[in-house]
Amino acid sequence: MSERGENDAQAGEETQAGEGTRDREASQADAETVAGKEAHADGASSPADDSAHTSAEPPTDEQPDAASISRRSALAAVGLAGLLGFGATSTASADPQGQIGTQSDPLQTLYVEAIESATVGSELTIGGGGDRVAALRPRPSYDTVDVVFGHHDNSVSNYGGTVAGGGTGSNPNTAAEFAAIGGGQGNVASSRHATIGGGFGHSVTDTGATVGGGIENTASYYESTIGGGRDNVVSSNHATIAGGSSNEASSSGTTIGGGEDNTASSYADVVAGGSLNTASGGHATVPGGWRNTASGAGSLAAGVDAAADWANAFVWNDGSEYSSQNDFRAGEAVSGEPVAGNETFNVSASGGVRFVTGGSSVTYIESGTAGWSNTSTRTAKTNVEATDPEQILQGVESLEVATWEYRAENDTTDDDGTDAAGTGSPRIGPFAEEFHDAFDVGGSESHINSIDVDGVALAAIQGLSARLEDREERIDRQAERVDDLESENDALRDRLTAIEDRLDGPTEAR
């Protein structure tokens, strides 16, 4: 300890013994000095100077009193410096009165080059390596404190901001009021309650916006979020980019999960990932893939070069047959089919389409074909019972098979309120209720399974075939009877001829 420090310690001890009315916090701080806690004391004021300063400058709203600021806040901050590792060789803690260390856990050594303004309400600066390494600036008018760590060019541009570290001379970090920067370099949180976790070159320019990390991301609208990645831009409120690179979320509530060069540009659009995808229809979705566009409201485009360009359309393209951007569209027919436009489900899968509904139950369309195939192997079936083809045929004969139109297709009515005829596509077939009454199959009385229709048709054909066989047998028997009758007729005809010949013979013979 320097000679001046020893003199100050002795003066502090004498003052403590002779002035019983001094403030308790000042007594404890001076007692620490007497106890021999070592610190750099060059330029330190004597206890007498402290007493004079306190009496000369009574506390005001803008200039808080030295006991509450310089000893409680400033010394507690020095204790924080020790805890953060600024040369402290033992634990540094502060009691409610601002005393660093305790009797049972004294601060042995604190190596800090400079602790400036520790006894005034303006700013506490901690230096190391020839530069400022920390600054705490009380803002009594706003009931807050600016906190700046890291490079000496880091700064808080208003009040209540925090820069926890990082920064360089050419790329310092800057935080606005109540904004926070965790670290990194060249980051600017220039609006209230903005947050940057770390990384490089981020810009957060509106209230409550956040960038978690990465490189050169920009969140420029309130409560927007970028998790990380590089060169991502969020330019509307409540929009989010989780990561990836060069993605842009430019409308309220839009979300991009990741990937590269993706765009979500209308309300609540979502691009989960992939690259060069665009969701622009409002509530539209691209789950991933490449060069997909969902421009219809509520639409979904997936795979490669799929274009959901009509409202609520679903489009999946495998990219083999239609391999240019927007080549496979919801609104464009492939072969004159009438299914295109809004509310359509469109799939281009040149390898085939398959639906597996559990176990070995599969329905599929083979590559290059247009008909459904269903699982029908005997090994997949149980409770097999033979049918009565004649009974099935009678059931078919009892059905009303008519032409009709679906009500959903027929959207007009006549003057009397009944559905207008001829506006939908005409169909032919039975009605589900009668079908189930006749055959008692299927899982719904309002629907007919195509497998059941096929089975009924085949059984009815068998029944009809049996009828034809019976009829042919009767016809054969009848033919034989006819032959017999014809033979008998021939014999009778011969006898009759003989009798006639005898009757018509010469008179002499009689």
Q: How much is the pLDDT for 103?
A: 59
Count CA atoms closer than 13 A to 174's CA, side-chain side. Answer: 15
How large is the C-alpha radius of gyration of the chain? Answer: 48
pLDDT average, residue stretch 36-60: 36
pLDDT average, residue stretch 304-308: 97
C-alpha pair distances (Å), 441 with each of 97, 358, 379, 388, 398? 87, 20, 20, 14, 16
Decide if pLDDT at 302 tops 90: yes
Q: How much is the pLDDT for 71?
A: 42
Q: Which of 233-237, 287-291, 380-384 has the lowest mean pLDDT?
A: 380-384
pLDDT average, residue stretch 63-80: 42
Dihedral sign from CA coordinates of 481, 482, 483, 487: positive
Check residues 115 and 455 and name the one with the higher pLDDT. Answer: 455
Question: How wide is the angle at C-alpha 414 spanned by C-alphas 412 and 415, nearest 5°?
Answer: 130
Element (H, E) at 17: helix 3-18
Q: Are residues 410 and 439 in contact, defined by beta-carbon separation less than 8 angstroms?
A: no
pLDDT digits (tens, 9 = 90+) for 167-208: 999 999 999 999 999 999 999 999 999 999 999 999 999 999
| Percent of the chain predicted with pLDDT > 90 | 63
Using DSSP's 3-state secondary structure scheme, residue 94 falls into strand
Decide if pLDDT at 76 tops 60: no
Residue owning tokens 């295109």 = 340
Decide if pLDDT at 51 tops 90: no
Strands of the 352-356 sheet, one edge to the other: 352-356, 362-366, 373-374
Decide if pLDDT at 117 tops 70: no
Residue owning tokens 């007493």 = 51
Decide if pLDDT at 386 tops 90: yes
Q: How much is the pLDDT for 129?
A: 76
Decide if pLDDT at 252 tops 80: yes
Decide if pLDDT at 316 tops 80: yes
Q: How much is the pLDDT for 359?
A: 86
- pTM of the predicted structure, to 2 decimals: 0.70
Confidence of residue 120 (pLDDT cuts 50, 70, 90): very low
